[in-house]
Amino acid sequence: MGNVIMADLARIPELLPSIIEMVAKVVFIFTMNMGVFAPLLGWVERKQSALMQDRIGANRADILGITAFGLLHTLTDAIKLLTKEDFIPRGADKPLHYLAPFIAVVPALIAFAVIPFGGQYVLWGHKTNLVIADLDVGILFVFAVASISTYGSVIAGWASNNNWSLLGGIRVGAQMLSYEVAMGLTLVGVFMVYGSLRMTDIGVAQENFFHWGIFLQPLGFILFITCALAENKRTPFDIPEAEAELVAGYFTEYSGLKFAMFWMAEFLEMVTISGVLVALFFGGWQIPFVTHEGLVKFFGFLGSNFAQVAVMVVHVTVFWVKVLGWIFLLMLIRWTLPRFRYDQVMELGWKIILPLALVNIFITGAVMLMVM
Amino acid sequence: MSGTYRKVDRNVTLTLWERLYLPEVIRGVTITTRHFFVNFLSVTKAYFGGKPSDRKIMTIYYPDEKPVLPEAYRGKPVLVLGSDGRGKCVACGLCEVACPPKCISIVGGMREDGTRRPVTYKLNGAVCIFCGLCEEACPEEAIVMSDRYEGLSEYDRKLMVYDKEALLVPEEKLGKRLDYIRRRMFGKWNY
Amino acid sequence: MELLIFYGLGLLALFAAAAMIMVRQPVTSALLLILNMFCLSGLYAMLGAHLIAILQLLVYAGAIMVLVLFVIMLLNLREKKGIVSKHQIALQTAGVAVFGVFMAVIAARLHTSQLPNPKAVTASFGTVGAVGRVLFTDYILPFEIASILLLAAIVGAVILAKSKV
């Protein structure tokens, strides 16, 4: 066995570029999610909702009179949550109570592994593919991971020894189960159209503007965004944490950093959903009417390597801009629509979205047969 | 009580268009988006070299910006100090009588030239209800309601009893309110 | 390296399976089962069966175990400290004995019989396309029969539930 390990170690030099690439991609995605989105979305949420409702929003925290449009509230929030008492209620299942926030936040982070945030580039002879794990099962991985994140909420509800939490946990379980089924089926049409589950393949196939998922699968898109909103557990579908009924639902008994982790998980899920939406329906890293070769040609004056770098930067920027746009839209929806009732959520999932998804698959199949 | 009443149909029947839900969602989102952008642009404009009034949002940044009060606003009642350096009050006691919670107490006296003046004039700010009846009752325009609304509460009730020195305000500072009083919109001129 | 991961996953799976039976609390037990399924999924992935691995996560760990947890939470099952009666102990011993004999037979059989030679795995092995093609050509009949079976089960469940409502 030692020999095997030595052999593996001996391969490190030849694998070095790949390892560097891998680490760089992981660090990039991690900083984007944890360093940019997790703290900033709190600010975006506050300010955007305020402006939508003709308010000003949080702006009083300041350092030497500089408020930075309320951005410093992120900092004060962090300090507050760090110094808060970490409360575990009596009778709670301590290990599970401790474990739940981690189960909630980790899947939200790793789901981004299969979402491509750029195309394929040849940099100094090394082929780079801007996705952390280019899995053949692709989008199924996101589903699997999303279904794991359900446990975070369910266990939190169970372990808190609190009736509100328990009800919240049960509601999470029911809602997630219902909408996972529907969400899987809504995307079958997309897989059929692009003939692949691999997200980079889907991204490459969307180079033509009119082959974007939104044009090929309009019904699938609407159904998917509904399911994604339900999976995210934000307002139109926030029955698991309905303030008016369940205090805060499954995280009623959480405080301090553990509460912050649930909060972060919600925001990260939103980023992931936006990423999936962009990758599947909005052309991923592609710019409308601009092909990869065209862009390379445009940056040709930089020399072949730096042209590739420039194209990469442009593509990655385009991807994140699209993701930001989607986060804006998701926030708009969250602050516009009132909450559904529990039975309405279930009815929407099972009686409307599921049959419509099946119809969508049928139509897609029929059209594909006719076209081919 | 008889009268006509409108029967409210609470069992609202939605049209097919409304039951599709999606068009209505888009309508709602359009409205909120419009609000967002209108407010976003106006706030940005106000921040970068505009006036605070450029903001389309009604909220004011209170301690930094003060609200513009209407003339009819009734703040802390004050005694008018004439431009000759004398208080206008003649200690007639009408405000004392008019005051519903009886927060004013006056001891009158004479100046050397024979004009009347209050020796002590106490107004208990903790009892005052800011009704403005003292101002209406005053024949000399000597007590008026100022637009001061800050710093009126204390942790000790004794500190809230204002004496004459704490109440006297120069006439020039109260010009707006005095003009307003002279428009005679109060009850006593309308009887 | 792969060997290390394999042993790690295998041991963890065994531990989770054993602990799942031992633990008294239903929720902890269910969570251990989920852990076991994770390890199994990892083992599948190491075999190159990526689709099966992800389906293991998606269907078993993701959906079915949520249902199990859901039921446990709805019934509010708590730790039960009952006395195990004598005949139950006898039953359990009998069960363990039968299982042991069964395993022994399998082990003996494996020891003597000739295992088929392992074939080299092709590049497309275990991908969605390969599994799908096999499923919808060679195994179409079992696949359809299974789906009809599941449909019958769903209809049966609906009828059973309806009679109570």
- Tens-place pLDDT, residues B72-114: 888 888 888 888 878 888 888 888 888 899 899 988 888 888 8
The pair of three-digit structure tokens given for residue C11, joined into one six-digit string: 């041991």
With an 8 Å Cβ cutoff, the interface of chain A facing chain C consists of 1, 4-5, 8, 93, 96, 135-137, 140-141, 143-148, 150-151, 154-155, 157-159, 166, 169-170, 173-174, 176-177, 180-181, 197
Q: List the one residue out of C8, C2, C4, C1 whose CA is nearest residue A9.
A: C1
Structural domain span for residue C163: 122-165
| B79 φ/ψ angles, rounded to the nearest 5 degrees | -90, 140
Q: What does the pLDDT look like over A126-166, one tens digit per residue?
A: 777 777 777 777 788 888 888 888 888 888 888 888 888 88
* Rounded-to-integer distance, Cα B117 and Cα B109, Å: 5
pLDDT at B181 over 60: yes
Model pLDDT, residue A303:
73
Distance separating alpha carbons of residues A82 and A208, to the nearest angstrom: 48
Enumerate residues 182 to 201 of chain A having a beta carbon within 8 A of any beta carbon in chain B: none
Report the pLDDT value the prediction gives residue C153, as an integer from 0 to 100.
Answer: 92
Please list every residue in chain A whose beta carbon sits closer than 8 Å to the beta carbon of residue C50.
135-137
Chain A residues in contact with C75 (beta carbon < 8 A): none
Can you give the pTM of this predicted structure? 0.77
Q: At what angle do helices C65-75 and A163-194 cross, to 10 degrees?
A: 160
Residue A60 exposure: Cα atoms within 13 Å on the Cβ side:
5
Q: How confident is the model at residue C47 (pLDDT cuts 50, 70, 90)?
A: confident
Tokens representing residue A111 in the block: 């789901």
pLDDT digits (tens, 9 = 90+) for A68-81: 777 888 888 888 88
User: Residues of C at the A interface (Cβ-Cβ below 8 Å)?
Assistant: 1-4, 25, 27-28, 31, 34, 50-51, 54-55, 57-58, 61-63, 65-67, 69-70, 73-74, 76, 127-128
If one counts the domains in chain C, the total is: 2
Contact A56/B at CB under 8 A? yes
Q: Which residues of chain A have pLDDT under 70?
A: 1-8
Token pair, residue A270, equals: 């939103």
The answer as to whether C39 is a domain residue is yes
3-state DSSP call for residue C121?
A: coil
* Alpha carbon distance C25, C78 (integer Å): 6
Residue ending a domain, among C78, C103, C132, is C78
Average pLDDT on B44-57 reads: 73
Measure CB to CB from residue B28 to each of A51, A222, A337 and give the nearest one: A337
Contact B58 A335 (CB under 8 A): no
Q: What is the CATH number of the domain that holds C14?
A: 1.20.120.1200
Q: Which of A181, A155, A254 is nearest to C69 (CA)?
A: A155
Residue in chain B nearest A335 by alpha carbon: B32
- The verdict on residue C146 lying in a domain is yes
Chains A vs C: touching, with 3+ CB pairs under 8 Å?
Answer: yes
Regarding whether C64 and C9 lie in a shared domain, the answer is yes
C62, A231 in Cβ contact below 8 A?
Answer: no
Q: Write out chain A residues lying below 8 Å of B36, CB-based.
A: 48, 51-52, 332
Supply the pLDDT for residue C22.
79
Is C52 inside a domain boundary?
Answer: yes
Is B61 in a helix, a strand, or coil? coil
ipTM, interface predicted TM-score of the complex: 0.74
Is the domain of C64 the same as that of C127?
no
Domain chopping of chain A, boundaries: 23-83, 86-371
Query: Are there at least 3 beta-carbon pairs closer than 8 Å between B and C?
Result: no
In contact, C11 and A97? CB cutoff 8 Å: no
| Closest among B82, B91, B74 to B147, alpha carbons compared | B74
User: Angle formed by the axes of helices A304-336 and A256-281, to 10°?
Assistant: 120
Separation of alpha carbons A259 and A245, rounded Å: 19
Contact B91, B106 (CB under 8 A): yes
CA torsion B122-B128-B130-B135 (nearest 10°) is -30
Give the residues across from B169 on adjacent strands.
Answer: B80
State the pLDDT confidence band at C114, using cuts at 50, 70 and 90. Answer: low
| CA separation for the pair B77, B74 (Å, rounded) | 8
Final residue of a structural domain among C78, C105, C137: C78
Question: Is A144 in CB contact (< 8 Å) with chain B?
Answer: no
Give the closest-approach CA distance of C63 to chain A in angstroms: 6
- pLDDT (0 to 100) of residue C164: 62
Length of chain C: 165
Q: Which of the listed residues C19, C51, C78 is the one where a domain comes to its end?
A: C78
**Does residue C111 form part of some domain?**
no
Say if residues A251 and A167 touch (Cβ distance below 8 Å). Answer: no
Quickly state the pLDDT bin for C152 (edges 50, 70, 90): very high
**Contact flag A337-B39 (C-beta cutoff 8 Å):** no
Q: Is A337 on the interface with B (CB under 8 A)?
A: yes
pLDDT at B187 over 70: no
Q: Confidence class of residue C145 from pLDDT cuts 50, 70 and 90?
A: very high
pLDDT band at C25 (very low <50, low <70, confident <90, very high): confident
- pLDDT of A22 reads 79
**What is the rounded average pLDDT for all residues in chain C?**
80
pLDDT value for A197: 81
Residue A199: predicted pLDDT: 81
